[in-house]
Amino acid sequence: MKFTIQLASALAAVAPLVQLAKAGPVLKRDTNITDPQVLNYALTLEHLEAAFYKEGLSNFSAADFAAAGYPDWIYGRLGQIRDHEATHVQFLTTALQTAGAQAVNACTYNFPVSDIKSFVSLAATLESVGSTAYTGGAAFISNKDYLTAAASILTVEGRHTAWINSAILHGAAWDTAFQTPLGLNAVYTLAAQFITSCPDGNAASLPTLTPYPSLTLEGKPGSTGTLTFSAQNNGSLFVAFASGIGAPAFQPIHNDSKVDIPSDLRGYVFAFVTSSNGTLDDSTTVAGPAILDVGFDASGNVV
Protein backbone atom coordinates (compact mmCIF):
# COMPACT_ATOMS: atom_id res chain seq x y z
CA MET A 1 0.00 0.00 0.00
CA LYS A 2 2.83 2.38 0.87
CA PHE A 3 4.43 1.77 -2.54
CA THR A 4 1.10 2.47 -4.27
CA ILE A 5 0.74 5.77 -2.41
CA GLN A 6 4.32 6.76 -3.29
CA LEU A 7 3.78 5.87 -6.94
CA ALA A 8 0.56 7.86 -7.06
CA SER A 9 2.30 10.85 -5.50
CA ALA A 10 5.14 10.60 -8.02
CA LEU A 11 2.72 10.46 -10.96
CA ALA A 12 0.82 13.43 -9.59
CA ALA A 13 4.03 15.39 -9.36
CA VAL A 14 5.04 14.55 -12.92
CA ALA A 15 1.60 15.23 -14.46
CA PRO A 16 2.13 18.99 -14.79
CA LEU A 17 5.37 18.33 -16.71
CA VAL A 18 3.54 15.99 -19.09
CA GLN A 19 0.93 18.67 -19.75
CA LEU A 20 3.71 21.21 -20.25
CA ALA A 21 5.31 18.99 -22.86
CA LYS A 22 2.01 18.60 -24.69
CA ALA A 23 1.68 22.38 -24.77
CA GLY A 24 4.94 22.85 -26.66
CA PRO A 25 5.43 23.50 -30.38
CA VAL A 26 2.92 21.32 -32.21
CA LEU A 27 4.47 18.34 -34.04
CA LYS A 28 1.54 16.78 -35.84
CA ARG A 29 2.03 13.05 -36.43
CA ASP A 30 1.52 12.54 -40.15
CA THR A 31 0.66 8.87 -40.61
CA ASN A 32 1.61 9.17 -44.29
CA ILE A 33 5.27 9.71 -43.38
CA THR A 34 7.23 6.45 -43.38
CA ASP A 35 10.25 5.51 -41.29
CA PRO A 36 12.54 5.43 -44.36
CA GLN A 37 11.45 8.99 -45.17
CA VAL A 38 12.30 10.13 -41.65
CA LEU A 39 15.70 8.40 -41.82
CA ASN A 40 16.36 10.10 -45.16
CA TYR A 41 15.37 13.41 -43.59
CA ALA A 42 17.99 12.77 -40.89
CA LEU A 43 20.49 11.67 -43.54
CA THR A 44 19.93 14.92 -45.44
CA LEU A 45 21.01 16.85 -42.35
CA GLU A 46 23.95 14.54 -41.68
CA HIS A 47 25.17 15.00 -45.26
CA LEU A 48 25.08 18.76 -44.69
CA GLU A 49 26.99 18.60 -41.40
CA ALA A 50 29.55 16.15 -42.79
CA ALA A 51 30.18 18.39 -45.79
CA PHE A 52 30.48 21.46 -43.55
CA TYR A 53 33.18 19.97 -41.34
CA LYS A 54 35.02 18.32 -44.22
CA GLU A 55 35.15 21.59 -46.15
CA GLY A 56 36.00 23.75 -43.15
CA LEU A 57 38.80 21.57 -41.82
CA SER A 58 40.21 21.27 -45.33
CA ASN A 59 40.27 25.05 -45.74
CA PHE A 60 41.70 25.77 -42.28
CA SER A 61 44.71 23.97 -40.82
CA ALA A 62 45.74 23.41 -37.23
CA ALA A 63 48.23 26.23 -37.71
CA ASP A 64 45.41 28.54 -38.84
CA PHE A 65 43.49 27.76 -35.65
CA ALA A 66 46.59 28.42 -33.55
CA ALA A 67 47.16 31.73 -35.33
CA ALA A 68 43.55 32.67 -34.57
CA GLY A 69 44.24 32.14 -30.87
CA TYR A 70 42.74 28.68 -30.33
CA PRO A 71 44.55 25.93 -28.35
CA ASP A 72 46.01 23.18 -30.53
CA TRP A 73 43.59 20.54 -29.21
CA ILE A 74 40.56 22.42 -30.62
CA TYR A 75 41.42 21.37 -34.18
CA GLY A 76 41.73 17.73 -33.14
CA ARG A 77 38.35 17.70 -31.41
CA LEU A 78 36.69 19.31 -34.44
CA GLY A 79 38.27 16.56 -36.53
CA GLN A 80 36.61 14.00 -34.30
CA ILE A 81 33.24 15.72 -34.83
CA ARG A 82 33.88 15.63 -38.58
CA ASP A 83 34.47 11.89 -38.33
CA HIS A 84 31.32 11.43 -36.24
CA GLU A 85 29.19 13.15 -38.88
CA ALA A 86 30.74 11.04 -41.64
CA THR A 87 29.99 7.93 -39.57
CA HIS A 88 26.38 9.04 -39.11
CA VAL A 89 26.07 9.39 -42.89
CA GLN A 90 27.42 5.89 -43.46
CA PHE A 91 25.27 4.40 -40.70
CA LEU A 92 22.00 5.89 -41.95
CA THR A 93 22.86 5.05 -45.56
CA THR A 94 23.54 1.42 -44.66
CA ALA A 95 20.39 1.20 -42.52
CA LEU A 96 18.24 2.43 -45.41
CA GLN A 97 19.89 0.14 -47.93
CA THR A 98 19.50 -2.83 -45.59
CA ALA A 99 15.79 -2.02 -45.31
CA GLY A 100 15.52 -1.97 -49.09
CA ALA A 101 15.04 1.79 -49.28
CA GLN A 102 16.81 4.34 -51.44
CA ALA A 103 19.19 6.57 -49.48
CA VAL A 104 19.45 10.25 -50.43
CA ASN A 105 22.77 11.51 -51.75
CA ALA A 106 24.70 14.58 -50.68
CA CYS A 107 23.69 17.94 -52.11
CA THR A 108 25.79 20.91 -53.20
CA TYR A 109 26.26 23.42 -50.38
CA ASN A 110 27.26 27.01 -49.83
CA PHE A 111 28.41 27.79 -46.31
CA PRO A 112 28.93 31.48 -45.41
CA VAL A 113 32.34 30.91 -43.84
CA SER A 114 35.07 33.49 -44.39
CA ASP A 115 37.33 32.83 -41.41
CA ILE A 116 37.76 30.55 -38.43
CA LYS A 117 35.48 32.65 -36.23
CA SER A 118 32.59 32.33 -38.68
CA PHE A 119 33.32 28.61 -39.08
CA VAL A 120 33.07 28.00 -35.33
CA SER A 121 29.95 30.16 -35.03
CA LEU A 122 28.19 28.28 -37.81
CA ALA A 123 29.30 24.95 -36.33
CA ALA A 124 27.53 25.87 -33.09
CA THR A 125 24.36 26.76 -35.00
CA LEU A 126 24.35 23.61 -37.14
CA GLU A 127 24.87 21.36 -34.13
CA SER A 128 22.03 23.06 -32.25
CA VAL A 129 19.72 22.71 -35.25
CA GLY A 130 20.75 19.07 -35.61
CA SER A 131 19.79 18.41 -31.98
CA THR A 132 16.38 20.06 -32.41
CA ALA A 133 15.85 18.10 -35.63
CA TYR A 134 16.38 14.71 -33.99
CA THR A 135 14.27 15.71 -31.00
CA GLY A 136 11.37 16.79 -33.22
CA GLY A 137 11.84 13.97 -35.73
CA ALA A 138 11.45 11.31 -33.03
CA ALA A 139 7.70 11.94 -33.05
CA PHE A 140 7.49 10.57 -36.60
CA ILE A 141 9.40 7.29 -36.10
CA SER A 142 7.41 4.09 -35.56
CA ASN A 143 10.13 1.43 -35.49
CA LYS A 144 11.65 1.16 -32.00
CA ASP A 145 15.04 0.11 -33.34
CA TYR A 146 15.20 3.18 -35.56
CA LEU A 147 14.09 5.33 -32.64
CA THR A 148 16.87 3.94 -30.45
CA ALA A 149 19.46 4.59 -33.18
CA ALA A 150 18.17 8.16 -33.63
CA ALA A 151 18.34 8.73 -29.88
CA SER A 152 21.93 7.50 -29.86
CA ILE A 153 22.86 10.01 -32.56
CA LEU A 154 20.90 12.76 -30.79
CA THR A 155 22.92 12.43 -27.60
CA VAL A 156 26.17 12.79 -29.55
CA GLU A 157 24.86 15.82 -31.44
CA GLY A 158 23.92 17.34 -28.09
CA ARG A 159 27.45 16.74 -26.79
CA HIS A 160 28.89 18.37 -29.89
CA THR A 161 26.70 21.40 -29.25
CA ALA A 162 27.67 21.60 -25.58
CA TRP A 163 31.38 21.28 -26.28
CA ILE A 164 31.48 23.92 -29.03
CA ASN A 165 29.42 26.41 -27.03
CA SER A 166 31.40 25.96 -23.83
CA ALA A 167 34.97 24.90 -24.72
CA ILE A 168 35.37 27.04 -27.85
CA LEU A 169 32.91 29.91 -27.42
CA HIS A 170 33.14 30.00 -23.61
CA GLY A 171 29.36 30.19 -23.26
CA ALA A 172 26.72 27.99 -21.71
CA ALA A 173 26.76 24.29 -22.63
CA TRP A 174 22.96 24.13 -22.57
CA ASP A 175 19.86 26.23 -23.23
CA THR A 176 17.01 25.36 -20.86
CA ALA A 177 16.19 22.12 -19.05
CA PHE A 178 14.62 20.76 -22.26
CA GLN A 179 15.75 20.57 -25.89
CA THR A 180 13.41 22.40 -28.26
CA PRO A 181 11.73 20.03 -30.75
CA LEU A 182 11.22 21.53 -34.20
CA GLY A 183 8.95 20.20 -36.93
CA LEU A 184 10.27 18.91 -40.25
CA ASN A 185 9.49 22.04 -42.25
CA ALA A 186 11.05 24.35 -39.65
CA VAL A 187 14.33 22.42 -39.66
CA TYR A 188 14.32 22.18 -43.46
CA THR A 189 13.86 25.96 -43.64
CA LEU A 190 17.00 26.45 -41.56
CA ALA A 191 18.99 23.88 -43.56
CA ALA A 192 17.81 25.00 -47.01
CA GLN A 193 19.68 28.30 -46.81
CA PHE A 194 22.94 26.35 -47.10
CA ILE A 195 21.80 24.05 -49.93
CA THR A 196 22.49 25.15 -53.50
CA SER A 197 21.08 22.11 -55.30
CA CYS A 198 20.32 18.43 -54.69
CA PRO A 199 20.24 15.32 -56.88
CA ASP A 200 16.89 14.95 -58.66
CA GLY A 201 16.12 11.62 -57.01
CA ASN A 202 16.38 12.86 -53.43
CA ALA A 203 12.90 14.39 -53.17
CA ALA A 204 11.15 11.07 -53.85
CA SER A 205 12.78 9.53 -50.76
CA LEU A 206 11.88 12.37 -48.40
CA PRO A 207 8.66 13.54 -46.75
CA THR A 208 7.07 16.50 -48.50
CA LEU A 209 9.11 19.41 -47.18
CA THR A 210 8.07 23.03 -47.64
CA PRO A 211 10.37 25.77 -46.37
CA TYR A 212 8.76 28.79 -44.74
CA PRO A 213 9.50 32.35 -45.88
CA SER A 214 12.66 33.68 -44.26
CA LEU A 215 12.65 35.74 -41.09
CA THR A 216 15.27 37.82 -39.32
CA LEU A 217 14.95 39.20 -35.81
CA GLU A 218 17.32 41.76 -34.33
CA GLY A 219 17.14 42.39 -30.59
CA LYS A 220 17.76 41.00 -27.12
CA PRO A 221 15.48 39.69 -24.36
CA GLY A 222 13.68 42.52 -22.61
CA SER A 223 14.01 44.86 -25.61
CA THR A 224 11.91 45.72 -28.65
CA GLY A 225 13.17 43.71 -31.60
CA THR A 226 13.01 44.47 -35.33
CA LEU A 227 11.53 41.90 -37.71
CA THR A 228 12.19 41.45 -41.41
CA PHE A 229 9.99 39.06 -43.41
CA SER A 230 8.19 39.06 -46.74
CA ALA A 231 4.58 38.48 -45.62
CA GLN A 232 2.28 41.44 -45.21
CA ASN A 233 1.66 42.66 -41.66
CA ASN A 234 -2.11 42.95 -41.49
CA GLY A 235 -2.15 43.92 -37.84
CA SER A 236 -3.04 40.47 -36.57
CA LEU A 237 0.29 38.68 -36.69
CA PHE A 238 2.32 37.44 -33.74
CA VAL A 239 5.77 36.14 -32.94
CA ALA A 240 5.99 32.76 -31.23
CA PHE A 241 9.20 32.30 -29.25
CA ALA A 242 9.79 28.54 -28.97
CA SER A 243 12.21 27.35 -26.29
CA GLY A 244 12.18 23.91 -24.69
CA ILE A 245 8.99 21.83 -24.62
CA GLY A 246 6.74 24.36 -22.93
CA ALA A 247 4.18 26.48 -24.73
CA PRO A 248 5.82 29.15 -26.90
CA ALA A 249 5.58 32.73 -25.75
CA PHE A 250 3.41 34.73 -28.14
CA GLN A 251 3.85 38.47 -28.65
CA PRO A 252 1.88 40.72 -31.03
CA ILE A 253 3.72 42.40 -33.89
CA HIS A 254 3.47 46.18 -33.91
CA ASN A 255 2.56 47.96 -37.14
CA ASP A 256 6.18 48.98 -37.66
CA SER A 257 7.33 45.33 -37.65
CA LYS A 258 8.55 45.55 -34.08
CA VAL A 259 8.00 43.00 -31.34
CA ASP A 260 8.60 43.01 -27.61
CA ILE A 261 11.04 40.18 -26.85
CA PRO A 262 10.33 38.37 -23.55
CA SER A 263 12.99 39.01 -20.93
CA ASP A 264 13.26 35.42 -19.66
CA LEU A 265 14.58 33.78 -22.87
CA ARG A 266 17.91 31.97 -22.69
CA GLY A 267 20.04 29.94 -25.09
CA TYR A 268 18.92 29.08 -28.62
CA VAL A 269 15.37 30.37 -29.12
CA PHE A 270 13.42 29.84 -32.35
CA ALA A 271 11.14 32.70 -33.39
CA PHE A 272 8.25 32.29 -35.83
CA VAL A 273 5.82 34.81 -37.27
CA THR A 274 2.41 33.22 -36.86
CA SER A 275 -1.21 34.07 -37.58
CA SER A 276 -2.27 32.59 -34.24
CA ASN A 277 -1.88 33.93 -30.72
CA GLY A 278 -1.78 30.46 -29.21
CA THR A 279 -0.97 27.77 -31.79
CA LEU A 280 2.33 27.11 -33.54
CA ASP A 281 2.20 24.61 -36.40
CA ASP A 282 2.49 24.47 -40.20
CA SER A 283 -0.98 25.93 -40.71
CA THR A 284 -0.31 29.05 -38.63
CA THR A 285 3.34 29.74 -39.49
CA VAL A 286 3.85 32.78 -41.71
CA ALA A 287 7.65 33.03 -41.63
CA GLY A 288 10.66 31.71 -39.77
CA PRO A 289 12.23 30.36 -37.80
CA ALA A 290 14.81 32.95 -36.90
CA ILE A 291 17.37 31.87 -34.33
CA LEU A 292 17.85 34.13 -31.34
CA ASP A 293 21.08 33.08 -29.62
CA VAL A 294 20.81 34.42 -26.09
CA GLY A 295 24.08 34.01 -24.20
CA PHE A 296 23.93 33.88 -20.42
CA ASP A 297 26.46 33.71 -17.61
CA ALA A 298 26.74 31.33 -14.65
CA SER A 299 24.17 33.41 -12.76
CA GLY A 300 21.69 33.16 -15.62
CA ASN A 301 22.10 36.78 -16.66
CA VAL A 302 22.09 37.70 -20.35
CA VAL A 303 25.55 38.57 -21.64
User: Residues 42-52: pLDDT tens digits?
Assistant: 999 999 999 99
User: Residues 159-197: pLDDT tens digits?
Assistant: 999 999 999 999 999 999 999 999 999 999 999 999 999
Answer whether 103's CB lies under 8 Å from 97's CB.
Answer: yes
Question: Domain check: are 240 and 186 in the same one?
Answer: no
Q: Three-state SS for 114?
A: coil
Question: Domain check: are 41 and 177 in the same one?
Answer: yes
8-22, 122-136, 205-219: which range is least confident on average? 8-22
User: Residues 192-222: pLDDT tens digits?
Assistant: 999 999 999 999 999 999 999 999 999 999 9
Of the three residues 205, 232, 248, the one that is the final residue of a domain is 205
CA dist 129 and 134 (Å) reads 9
CA dist 239 and 250 (Å) reads 6
Answer whether 250's CB lies under 8 Å from 277's CB.
Answer: yes
User: Residues 231-269: pLDDT tens digits?
Assistant: 765 658 999 999 999 899 999 999 889 999 999 999 999
Residues 6+ apart with CB under 8 A from 22: none
Number of separate domains in the chain: 2
Question: Domain check: are 145 and 46 in the same one?
Answer: yes
pLDDT the model gives residue 255: 83
Answer whether 228's CB lies under 8 Å from 215's CB.
Answer: yes
- DSSP states of 53-99 as a string? HHHHHHHS-HHHHHHTT--HHHHHHHHHHHHHHHHHHHHHHHHHHHT
27 vs 105: which has the higher pLDDT: 105
Of the three residues 147, 181, 205, the one that is the final residue of a domain is 205
The reply to whether the predicted model has a pTM over 0.75 is yes
pLDDT the model gives residue 92: 97
Domain hosting residue 160, numbered range: 35-205
Whether 88 shows a pLDDT value over 70: the answer reads yes
Question: Domain check: are 179 and 260 in the same one?
Answer: no
Question: Domain check: are 177 and 240 in the same one?
Answer: no
